[in-house]
Amino acid sequence: MRVKHKSGEHPEAISSSFEKIVSKKNAKKCISDLKEFIKWLNDGLVNKFGSEGPLRHPLSGFLGHSNADFVE
């Protein structure tokens, strides 16, 4: 596709069918679905192994850090 524009100006974006799939609405839905899946997976790990490793709320960040020499 050819787009005419003045010298020194950026041409307008060319729309594509890809934009219909990767819309802001679809991206938000995918993020929401992924968060729900992560919570579901984490709950399964907590039920099977206890709450020592996985977090109760896996998307809230780390509660602490440990290594062989130091526990915080």
Q: Domain residues of the chain, as ranges?
A: 22-49
pTM: 0.52
Q: Average pLDDT of 17-35?
A: 86
pLDDT band, residue 51 (cuts 50/70/90): low
**18: left (phi > 0), else alpha (psi -120 to 50), else beta?**
alpha
Name which residue leads in pLDDT, 54 or 35.
Answer: 35
